Amino acid sequence: MNPTVLLPHGCHIGTDKACHFSVWAPLKKEVILHIVSPEERLIPMERSNEGYFQVTVEDCPPAARYYFNPDRAGDLPDPASHFQPEGVHGPSAVVDHTTFEWSDSGWENPGLQDLILYELHVGTFTEAGTFDAIIPRLEDLLATGINAIEIMPVAQFSGNRNWGYDGVFPYAVQDSYGGPEGLKRLVNACHRLGIAVILDVVYNHLGPEGNRLPQFGPYFTDAYKTPWGDAINFDGPWSDGVRDYFASNAIHWFHHYHIDGLRLDAIHAIFDNGAVHILQRINEAADQYAQQTEKSVHMIAESDLNAPRVIQNFKAGGYGFDAQWLDDFHHALFVALYPEGKDRYEDFGTVEQLAKAYTDGFVYSGEYTKARKRKYGASSAGIPGFKFVAFIQNHDQVGNHKNGERLSVQLPDSHLRIAAAALLLAPYIPMLFMGEEYGEERPFLYFTSHSDEQLVELVREGRKEEFGHWLGEEDPPDPQAESTFRACVLDWSKRTQGKHRHLLAWHRRLIHLRRSHVALQNFNKTGTQVDVLSEHAWALLRQDETEKSQLLALFNLSDQPLPHTLPQNT
Amino acid sequence: MNPTVLLPHGCHIGTDKACHFSVWAPLKKEVILHIVSPEERLIPMERSNEGYFQVTVEDCPPAARYYFNPDRAGDLPDPASHFQPEGVHGPSAVVDHTTFEWSDSGWENPGLQDLILYELHVGTFTEAGTFDAIIPRLEDLLATGINAIEIMPVAQFSGNRNWGYDGVFPYAVQDSYGGPEGLKRLVNACHRLGIAVILDVVYNHLGPEGNRLPQFGPYFTDAYKTPWGDAINFDGPWSDGVRDYFASNAIHWFHHYHIDGLRLDAIHAIFDNGAVHILQRINEAADQYAQQTEKSVHMIAESDLNAPRVIQNFKAGGYGFDAQWLDDFHHALFVALYPEGKDRYEDFGTVEQLAKAYTDGFVYSGEYTKARKRKYGASSAGIPGFKFVAFIQNHDQVGNHKNGERLSVQLPDSHLRIAAAALLLAPYIPMLFMGEEYGEERPFLYFTSHSDEQLVELVREGRKEEFGHWLGEEDPPDPQAESTFRACVLDWSKRTQGKHRHLLAWHRRLIHLRRSHVALQNFNKTGTQVDVLSEHAWALLRQDETEKSQLLALFNLSDQPLPHTLPQNT
């Protein structure tokens, strides 16, 4: 049975094996379903009260391809297509979610605080760039101690090379990655091994090529501006259908793909001035799903707001996310490790800031930042550490360097080890970026494969402009070139070689320590103390709730030895 | 001593009698103070760290006139001018706030729940249209039972006829009303009689003529759109100065004018996606002011959000307003009284809605509304009644009728009495619109007196367009014509005549009952019950906390008698 919070967007095959088509087009007079294969048919849809057009087709086989034609605008793919086997410009395909043979009925989603997250881009994680190609590598991840992969967005985007944030079919699974069946096989395999799967979803914009949503309904509004243009219409006239579309999308992944949690991209670009913020609405839907199915799901936000409301509960006026990314921890640690990084993170650079990142969370909790030209943030002191995901690299922090440089090419081996320890001993949920665990040296560059030549040129120019003013004369690698993408594919063979092998072992040891030492299980901030020892050194003390079990980690980024006397109470 | 939350915007004369000039212009290289009288002087200002330019002039007399010249853009009035004696396009004048002889040191601001509010437009309340002309009428208001006037905005606007929402100097007091001294005399007189003064302030936009703020700093942002164009920049780069400017403006009125509370106009058009919403910031400043001075102040919002967060406290994630206007109560009651009103308030029309307005507050608490084309609001059930200001008329609800019709020309006398009782026996803070108490029949029309001819034509056309499609062929009265304004001036002589005298007495009785009956003092919503008796009749039961004291009011809008048996427990 479908959970009640899953609304019938797109095409669903019921237990009756009939195809139920549904599309929201509140301002259209008619919508015609155009089935193009295996047998061409034109079927007028029926309008329901809330702006949906619906029709049930008894004899429409799975994999049938179809378009919708709203008010004779022509054949358009389904805005809630579950599969675009011929890419963003082709027909949608009927997907039968009742046939996949799941073997994960015994699976239980680990608690958020037990996760070691691993961010992964399907296209560059392996040579093949598919979901299936990931499966053989899961055992190695597991052996390293990783128990959750976080997959960068898989919603259908134009072409077959993209970070995923240009998706234009939020319900579809990228064809070149292996489509719906591929994703299911991956999740099933993960669950078999004890690995949770978090999926990155984008609810703040749609990509620049192949976005057909505006041709169906008022999905966008010019009331708010985002970096990508008009904002998604979450609070204006006709926004109910838009709200339902995105809230139901969250449930779509849980229900049809057994996804264990979502990471919502850039929630600071989601605007809603209404009485119930769409992010609350989405998190309420996730809660209801969890209640109805007795499954737990994790809701994680990427937030550039430094606002406690993101992770506060509804009663406290919050959006109710389980956790959010803690960028400030990255920035503080990164600039401490790599002082040249101050070019990019000009408001960071002291060990005191790193100390605050450990003990409070947000480093900027109301202070002025030069980058934003305003006071920024509010205090997160007292919010438990399991509400934050920390990292020392991620797709953005690596990929938004001009040459996609990872820490492994910026830092000596000693510092890579310090970075790993600083992260894995922190009172936060740690996240590694694929390859980080063995010091992958290949870059993670910005890449696209749009088919619209004008757009390609715009993206190229935008990239040059982004880096032009502060990173020298040379142009950044061409985002559209296949070689740019190819250069990013992980070199898995390194894991077993020399310094890489040692770094991998170091990660394994740290994760083991994290799991086994009781002081590291305590996410309560009162159990974390940081002493600044010098401009380049700090002491991190973790202790359990009883303060009986303690762990002291000493970090020294300088070449000079630093005498340190253990405090008396340790 | 100035409270610390009052920042030095504009020109202040200290106890040293020197003039301290301060202007925020963060992106300017220089600002020159140009004193034009009594003696011309050009004085370069000094730039401080946070984008302020400041200078102290020892020998600058009060009433001296001056301009600021930022980066040689020419003479511009002070964005925080306290007085524009020659209108919006003239120089600013130095105001000495230390010389007014206040006689209200014994004044204590009544609690919000004790207020009978009276909304008043200075220009049309009397023939003279000044603050001073109001004073002789205060005793009559007091005799009616009114103990708080709410003054429509007085910030300097273009010309001398305006509702006040076109103000362009948020710190200045309209010259044609009597300027700073006039307002002080009015407040002082009110306090002498025991009348509180609430001031309407506009923090969501500036008027269309004479707005010089953008020539000084980034006060506006195109990130959000309002009905008046670009939004005020409360969360973008350089927003700290803008936030300080408006938060300090609230304190300006409390401190220099002894204002007892503010009514913030249309807070739904104030956008802030940052960690601390500007409305929280303003209410925090008001709290701090109250603490530092041991004076209480009331913060009231006009909100079109039906969102509990507006009046929830900071801990609950709210903006922390003491109260907000309850439009739904008006709409439900108005359409019940005047079924033709459904043309304008299409989502209202049942007595059940009125019952919900009494017992819950927001009638739309998540339901779909046709006017908004979306689900609207969240529940306010359980929020005490003193968090809401209710009314059956106000400047907007009257003035936004094409011909500015008041209830007195729409309803028979019997229904005017029912309306008054429905309002004054409600568990909310009641607000009358000037003249309502005696059934003033003169209209309250939309009027302006801009000097920019192009703008005048735009306003005229806008007004025609607003009414064109649903209120017949005839054009609405010309907003710019002085006769339109004149037609709105109250006819105070009516108060003592015939039906007007009786209606006034009826208001007086109801207010007396409200003050004297213990059941009417209970703002807890559990003490209010409404039974729908028919399509046109309802019973309102109010009771005190102990449920021992009860008041039952029966309302019947039809011509037919309706039998009603008292419930057993009464």
pLDDT at A205: 97
Report, as ranges of residue numbers, the positions in chain A whose pLDDT lies below 70: 1-2, 468-472, 569-570
Mean model confidence pLDDT for chain B: 95
- Determine which helix (DSSP H) or strand (DSSP E) holds B463, and give its type and residue range: helix B453-468
Q: Which amino acid is at A130?
A: T
pLDDT of B283 above 60:
yes
Interface residue A14 vs chain B (CB under 8 A):
no
Interval B42-49 mean pLDDT: 94
Distance from CA of B241 to the nearest CA of A (A): 9
pLDDT at A471: 56
pLDDT of B568 above 90:
no
The residues facing B554 across adjacent strands are: B539
Distance CA A242, CA A129 (A): 32
Interface residue A214 vs chain B (CB under 8 A):
no
Interval B276-289 mean pLDDT: 97
CB-closest option in B237, B275, B305 to A373: B237
Distance CA B254, CA B37 (A): 29
- Please give the residue of chain A at the shortest CA–CA distance from B241: A374
DSSP B192: H
Higher per-residue confidence, A444 vs B17: A444
pLDDT at A402: 85
Q: Which of A295, A104, A119, A129 shows the shortest CA–CA distance to A193?
A: A104
pLDDT at B469: 57
Work out the number of other CB atoms within 10 angstroms of the CB of residue A139. 12
CA A33 → CA A41, A488, A507, B9, distances in Å?
Answer: 8, 41, 53, 63
Q: What percent of chain B has pLDDT over 90?
A: 91
pLDDT at A468: 63
Q: Do B239 and A308 touch (CB under 8 A)?
A: no
Phi first, then psi: give them for residue B149, nearest 5 degrees: -100, 140
The residues facing A44 across adjacent strands are: A32
Cis peptide before B44 (omega within 30 of 0): no
What's the sign of the alpha-carbon dihedral A391, A392, A397, A403?
Answer: negative
pLDDT at B566: 80
pLDDT tier at B474 (50, 70, 90 boundaries)?
confident
If you compute the radius of gyration of chain B from its CA atoms, what whole number of angstroms results?
A: 24
Interface residue A370 vs chain B (CB under 8 A):
no
Helix (H, G, I), strand (E, B) or coil at A385: helix
Q: Which of A50, A65, A49, A74 shows the shortest CA–CA distance to A11?
A: A65
Q: How many beta-carbon pairs under 8 angstroms link A with B?
A: 79
Q: Which of B385, B391, B387 shows the shortest CA–CA distance to B334?
A: B391
pLDDT at B162: 97
Identify all chain A residues contacting B372, using CB atoms and an 8 Å cutoff: 237
Architecture of the domain made up of B10-93: Sandwich (2.60)
Distance CA B435, CA A358 (A): 62
Identify all chain B residues contacting A237, using CB atoms and an 8 Å cutoff: 372-374
Work out the number of other CB atoms within 10 angstroms of the CB of residue A105. 6
Architecture of the domain made up of B112-204+248-518: Alpha-Beta Barrel (3.20)
Distance CA B293, CA A293 (A): 56
Phi first, then psi: give them for residue B104, nearest 5 degrees: -110, 30
Q: Do B275 and A307 touch (CB under 8 A)?
A: yes
**Domain boundaries along the sequence of chain B:** 10-93, 112-204+248-518, 524-556
Identify all chain A residues contacting B368, using CB atoms and an 8 Å cutoff: 240
Distance CA A441, CA A268 (A): 32
Distance CA A181, CA A257 (A): 9
B205, B211, B215, B219 alpha-carbon torsion, rounded to 10°: -10
Asked whether the beta carbons of B240 and B50 are under 8 A apart, the reply is yes
Work out the number of other CB atoms within 10 angstroms of the CB of residue B91. 21
- Please give the residue of chain A at the shortest CA–CA distance from B307: A275
The two three-digit tokens of residue A390, written as one number: 């920390």
pLDDT at B472: 66
For residue range B215-234, list pLDDT tens digits in order: 999 999 999 999 999 999 99
Distance CA B6, CA A503 (A): 57
CA B386 → CA A499, B116, B325, distances in Å?
Answer: 69, 12, 11
Pairing mode, strands A52-57 and A19-24: antiparallel
pLDDT at A419: 98
pLDDT at A469: 57
Interface residue B376 vs chain A (CB under 8 A):
yes
Asked whether the beta carbons of B381 and B360 are under 8 A apart, the reply is yes
**Rama region for A266: left / alpha / beta (φ>0; ψ in -120 to 50; rest):** left
Interval B369-398 mean pLDDT: 97
Distance CA B5, CA B7 (A): 6
Pairing mode, strands A92-93 and A117-120: unpaired
Q: Which amino acid is at B364?
A: Y
Dump strand ranges (E) for A124-166: 148-151
- Determine which helix (DSSP H) or strand (DSSP E) holds B13, and give its type and residue range: strand B10-13
Interface residue A225 vs chain B (CB under 8 A):
yes
Distance CA B168, CA B71 (A): 21
Interval B417-434 mean pLDDT: 98
Identify all chain A residues contacting B274, using CB atoms and an 8 Å cutoff: 305, 307, 376
The residues facing A301 across adjacent strands are: A264, A324
Phi first, then psi: give them for residue B430, nearest 5 degrees: -85, 145
pLDDT of B1 above 70:
no
Interval B368-384 mean pLDDT: 97
B16 classed as catalytic: no
Among residues B209, B235, B265, B437, the one annotated as catalytic is B265
The two three-digit tokens of residue B390, written as one number: 């209710």
pLDDT of B64 above 80:
yes
For residue range B142-184, list pLDDT tens digits in order: 999 999 999 999 999 999 999 999 999 999 999 999 999 999 9
Interval B77-97 mean pLDDT: 97
Supply the residues of A annotated as catalytic.
Answer: 265, 302
Identify all chain B residues contacting A375, using CB atoms and an 8 Å cutoff: 240
Q: Which of B502, B518, B521, B517 shows the shortest CA–CA distance to B429?
A: B521
Distance from CA of B436 to the nearest CA of A (A): 32
pLDDT of B50 above 90:
no
Query: 3-state secondary structure string, B226-263?
Result: ECCEEEECCCCCCHHHHHHHHHHHHHHHHHHHCCCEEE
pLDDT at B471: 56
- Find tokens 């929402």 and name the residue: B165
Q: Do A376 and B274 touch (CB under 8 A)?
A: yes
pLDDT tier at B23 (50, 70, 90 boundaries)?
very high
pLDDT at B468: 63
